[in-house]
Structure 1
């Protein structure tokens, strides 16, 4: 369930010294011009935690003069403000009046998750206290009387004090911060109920009463903190994608000055017009144009294809592209903040921001919980005061109403099913990274697949090795070990078949191939037109990766054909999706010919080829506007914005780090059967979530009237609250009991070892 931020800081006293907050000048310097006198400022607001926070901030800032647009990104805790003119709107002061501390946003800043640490400690303290108080309560329930009963009550009171002060402080601070700024949240009734239960219990103890309710107040905290911790972990998962994508950027580059001197500059100080020296193995820091040199470039960030692209003078290059084989001199055409990689980050943040308006079913059902509970409890108190005049009885019944309508069952309705479903998926080779994604996955009607690395393995494979003379294959393999080119890696696997070849000189010609000399013979391995200079050149090979040959003194002696193998059971997975009522499309940066061949083999009717990252996002947004709920399955760096823009996303474990971080699910095997399996489990989980919410609502509909009529004590209310939670948990465990099919078992085999490898690589 969503509430205001745990441990939320108190509102700023604007009359005090505000050192550490951004000044107007700092905001201006950090803002980005969007043209037409429009600027954008990004602020970090760490205490944004729920939909109520988003609405309050967007409404308040939207009313300021000169502000054109406000968007709050819940996953990155970022507020983006677009404003016009030379006068900077007082956004920091406005946020301060709402009780939010704001700082300049920096996607590269990584801090320890203090909120998670606080929640874990609070859960431990509350659980320890609740367990001990329950043990003492058993003795009271068993008939302890007189001094013995009072002793157990006093011990319970002493144990409850640190639990309320530390674990309960999370709710008390959040409730107080909301109330003092004229807002309401879910923590207010929790704080009131816990405080009144403890106060009444202390009153009963002092007056030697028969019953105290310390166990009810502390157990309430324990259950709520478990749900909140799960919710926090799930939300924080989404924040790693943007920061990870930003880390792909080079930290700086060697700048060639006009007088021939060289300086190393941080990427933020590189300006358009500067000449940069990019060595082999380095990433290009900013968008630019090649002035001197040629090389093979890994453009998977742009096109998603593993095949390197040859770059020559006058060619344009984008930030984040990896230079593979030769040194380049480029002229910067854009600053780092305006580069292709920065645009990728902005696309990812925009996609996440669009997703933040999604609310879990439990949040929607419990939207009116706080005011309804308060009004019900207050009306109960007034009614019993008017009827009996006994304030002790009236307040006791009001406390029972607050406790029995505790949102524990409602709060657990979603996360407990998510935990069980996540375990079920993991046992079958699927890792869940965002619990809310299962609810979204259950509603999808369209699945969009990237081709290279997703439907295929993304690794070129030599397919005609048996038809090549073994001696020539051995020569080519021994040459290939001197290169990092993907085709060379595919050939290098055959090294040693014919004995070690002795070469006098081996050199790589970026964009063309490898040349070696031995005993006066010149060998070339590479492009047909370059290597086979004595032979008549031909077109590309039938597999789309053709054109690679081995020549001896200019005469072709071997031709190499490559293909990218399909993932295991990819066609079967597509068929299962169609049977489940899910339409399938393929989006790729590859050529139409390669896409057409793959779609024909897999039985995919619709595909779009030659797409850039923004094109994939646009296609997904078009499908969404047409009313479709889209699942994106992709692995490349260029798929990251599309993974974020989709209603829900899945990536293979072989995906780039950024793709895995951006995805909601990661499947740990080569088989794509994990995709229909995840949909099946998610749909069953969605059904159980709805059942749990019905259980919670029916429980409250029955229990609240009984409590209002005075038939329930706070002790019975606490027991009823616990029973409702147990019912929800028991219903969720039914998902664990269902058996996976045989195909799913194959998908899950060795998933634990794959998972361990994935964690180590991350």
Structure 2
């Protein structure tokens, strides 16, 4: 039986006789990779477009309908040295991308109009103090109006629509005073132009719009990029299932396409994509991502298996079950939903502050106008002064204070291998004072390692590695990897659940269970010294050897825990794994606090207990059983090898084998939080100094716009300080 990938779920018709497919491509790192892929795929007949997005590592393909098999593109990319998976953009990411593109277009229009109007304003400014004729000044004002009015009508739509929505809901937001300021400045400018006045404020209005759009785009772009990276990581993990489409035919389909009652095939080394019951076969199953337990359990006919488990030996046929309220996944999802509800309080606080800002600005501008009228000023001068107050108090610097730092800091974190997955992740990571690490897959690497390689002769290791290439068992794969084996032995057979065997140089050769190779005594010696290890035995004729295979600690785990401790952050290990395994890891890493055999509920209870004590916990985990704890913690991080649910819940995902990004994330976040507070104080000080001057009538709307723009530039320059790279 041969399994082919079913692309039908991912193909989209463009309506012009063309088919569109998006692929997530692994290993695209530079413009050279992009050009190489585009050039090679464009040479395939009937391909009309091949475009690589270097930022998101995605390939968009279009070709004539019915002309090509999509599998051709995956195989061609494999020949070029790139691994690719079908990718389906979710609705949220599509909407984010469209909003970001819309803001960028509006920003371009506003900036272009502002530059042209500023060029027209120069002769007006100089002419007002020289001998410019009124007719010439009116001409420049009307020309400015022709540029600004349509540009403002298009560019300011995000602020106008947001303000209208708030007013329809009988509320106000920060876009209400912004919209009023823009409309008053434009209306006053038109009236001034009609009345042949010396001053018009088209330049102030369009500059205001441009700077506000720049801040809005920075914030939107940061959110879009983090969502895109998270989506791409999910696609590269390629959650698919091998489904029986007939009693003898199988096909690889997206996990989302599996329905209750479907039968799927699970082979050694594969990760289960469904919940279900075994109907045929027998295999060891690694449930470490579900329960945290590193030792495999035996699954046979009638056994339940869960999505996320790894098949260690043998082949299973599993009937997918309907989701029911009592499954492990449902229980974890309920805990997850409950934990996520507590996090939304953070956002409500920010909304309350923005609602308070608008009425204060309105009241200040209104009182300014009434005060000047009472003082005896003309209505014209009073309304101009009120407009200056509205513009100078515009929350541009305040709006940029946080997103500017977030954008710069998220770029610095990405350069260090950390992808943010939440808008307020930086603030919460900066506040943590305790880190809880899961063990399996977090402090340890997902790939197995051979611990006693130095005790076995090199020629034996190489021969065992060649034999191990014939097995798909992950323990055998660890032996092959450590041996550097490249060519398998010929005429090797596999006995499911036992191992592989054959003949080499006229003598029988075996690799597998100790009992299968006659090496039980050697295996018992290893297990007495290292109860956490898995043992794979090797025999060649009368020679017997045993390989101790175990999960390897991340190379910098001890250094990271020491660095966190030096920073005044308490560290503990909370794992669902067995006590001997957790105790051994804690001793190796220098962690004094640890807990073993902990359930998902117990992890949440521990986090809540620490929260009651005033601790702010950073949870670092990777398994499905860690997802509720990740959501319940004050902040959370997951490795890129984590389950999709853990990645989706975590505030940040880190790349690579090293744990250093955890320390870097804390350092960068703390620095970014300091810069955010500085920016907020800069915005406050600016308003404290500028508002009284505007109320006193000492600035025009143009000067107010320039002052507002200057404060925004200062805030953005301060935000750039977050670019500095941090190390352990």
Q: TM-score, normalised by structure 2?
A: 0.76
CA distance in 2: counterparts of 1:316 and 1:556, whole angstroms? 39
CA distance in 1: counterparts of 2:277 and 2:109, whole angstroms? 59
Q: CA deviation at 1:408?
A: 0.8
CA distance in 2: counterparts of 1:644 and 1:726, whole angstroms? 36
Q: CA deviation at 1:356?
A: 2.5
CA distance in 1: counterparts of 2:114 and 2:303, whole angstroms? 67
Counterpart of 1:112 in structure 2 is 94
Q: CA deviation at 1:703?
A: 2.1
Find the residue that maps to 1:585 and give its secondary structure: strand
CA distance in 1: counterparts of 2:622 and 2:305, whole angstroms? 22
CA distance in 1: counterparts of 2:426 and 2:376, whole angstroms? 51
Equivalence map 1:420-499=2 (5 Å)? 420-428=408-416, 430-434=418-422, 436-493=424-481
Q: CA deviation at 1:110?
A: 6.2
Residue 159 of structure 2 corresponds to residue 174 of structure 1: no
Find the residue that maps to 1:411 and give its secondary structure: helix
Contact 1:418 1:685 in 2 (8 A): yes
CA distance in 1: counterparts of 2:680 and 2:582, whole angstroms? 45
Name the CA shift for 1:332/1:656 in 2 (closer, same or farther; >3 Å).
Answer: closer
Match among 363, 366, 372 for residue 360 of structure 2: 372
Equivalence map 1:544-583=2 (5 Å)? 544-552=532-540, 557-583=544-570
Find the residue that maps to 1:126 and give its secondary structure: helix
Find the residue that maps to 2:94 and give its secondary structure: coil
Q: CA deviation at 1:630?
A: 1.2
Residue 406 of structure 2 corresponds to residue 418 of structure 1: yes
Q: CA deviation at 1:421?
A: 2.9
What RMSD over aligned residues (CA atoms) do the two structures have, in Å? 3.8
Residue 715 of structure 2 corresponds to residue 728 of structure 1: yes
Q: CA deviation at 1:397?
A: 1.4
Counterpart of 1:674 in structure 2 is 661
Find the residue that maps to 2:317 and give its secondary structure: strand
Contact 1:410 1:693 in 2 (8 A): yes
Match among 84, 96, 109 for residue 125 of structure 1: 109
Residue 335 of structure 2 corresponds to residue 335 of structure 1: no
Contact 1:133 1:156 in 2 (8 A): yes
Q: CA deviation at 1:370?
A: 0.6
Find the residue that maps to 1:454 and give its secondary structure: helix
After superposing the two structures, state which structure 1 stretch, 518-527 or 156-165, moved more. Answer: 518-527
Counterpart of 1:513 in structure 2 is 499
Match among 699, 704, 712 for residue 717 of structure 1: 704
* Structure 1 residues 184-240: Cα deviation after superposition (integer angstroms, max 9, x where no partner): 222111111111111111111222222221222222222222222333344457767
Contact 1:278 1:323 in 2 (8 A): no
Contact 2:181 2:390 in 1 (8 A): yes
Name the CA shift for 1:442/1:283 in 2 (closer, same or farther; >3 Å).
Answer: closer
Counterpart of 2:633 in structure 1 is 646
Contact 2:450 2:482 in 1 (8 A): no
Counterpart of 2:124 in structure 1 is 140
Find the residue that maps to 1:547 and give its secondary structure: strand
Counterpart of 1:755 in structure 2 is none
Q: CA deviation at 1:465?
A: 2.4
Q: CA deviation at 1:405?
A: 0.8
Name the CA shift for 1:491/1:249 in 2 (closer, same or farther; >3 Å).
Answer: closer
Contact 1:237 1:434 in 2 (8 A): no
After superposing the two structures, state which structure 1 stretch, 555-564 or 197-206, moved more. Answer: 555-564
Match among 607, 610, 616 for residue 594 of structure 2: 607
Residue 314 of structure 2 corresponds to residue 326 of structure 1: yes
Contact 2:444 2:552 in 1 (8 A): yes
CA distance in 2: counterparts of 1:600 and 1:515, whole angstroms? 39
Name the CA shift for 1:312/1:522 in 2 (closer, same or farther; >3 Å).
Answer: farther
Match among 528, 532, 541 for residue 514 of structure 2: 528
Counterpart of 1:692 in structure 2 is 679
Q: CA deviation at 1:172?
A: 1.0
Alignment gaps of 5+ in structure 1: 1-105, 748-762
Contact 2:226 2:420 in 1 (8 A): no
Q: CA deviation at 1:529?
A: 3.3
Residue 379 of structure 2 corresponds to residue 398 of structure 1: no
Q: CA deviation at 1:456?
A: 2.5
Q: CA deviation at 1:443?
A: 1.0
After superposing the two structures, state which structure 1 stretch, 380-389 or 360-369, moved more. Answer: 360-369
CA distance in 2: counterparts of 1:535 and 1:624, whole angstroms? 49
How many residue pairs get matched?
630
Equivalence map 1:258-337=2 (5 Å)? 274=261, 276-280=263-267, 284=272, 286-303=274-291, 309-323=297-311, 325-330=313-318, 334-335=322-323
CA distance in 2: counterparts of 1:670 and 1:724, whole angstroms? 42
Residue 202 of structure 2 corresponds to residue 214 of structure 1: yes
CA distance in 1: counterparts of 2:656 and 2:635, whole angstroms? 19
Name the CA shift for 1:493/1:127 in 2 (closer, same or farther; >3 Å).
Answer: same
Match among 345, 357, 362 for residue 345 of structure 2: 357
Q: CA deviation at 1:637?
A: 5.2
* Structure 1 residues 520-568: Cα deviation after superposition (integer angstroms, max 9, x where no partner): 7543322223432786863736342232211357x66011012433333
CA distance in 2: counterparts of 1:324 and 1:674, whole angstroms? 31
Name the CA shift for 1:493/1:733 in 2 (closer, same or farther; >3 Å).
Answer: closer
Name the CA shift for 1:370/1:287 in 2 (closer, same or farther; >3 Å).
Answer: same
Match among 191, 208, 215 for residue 227 of structure 1: 215
CA distance in 2: counterparts of 1:261 and 1:680, whole angstroms? 53
Counterpart of 1:407 in structure 2 is 395
Name the CA shift for 1:322/1:342 in 2 (closer, same or farther; >3 Å).
Answer: farther
Counterpart of 1:591 in structure 2 is 578
Residue 170 of structure 2 corresponds to residue 186 of structure 1: no
* Structure 1 residues 464-517: Cα deviation after superposition (integer angstroms, max 9, x where no partner): 2232244433332122101222221121136588x977553411413x332334
Find the residue that maps to 2:544 and give its secondary structure: strand
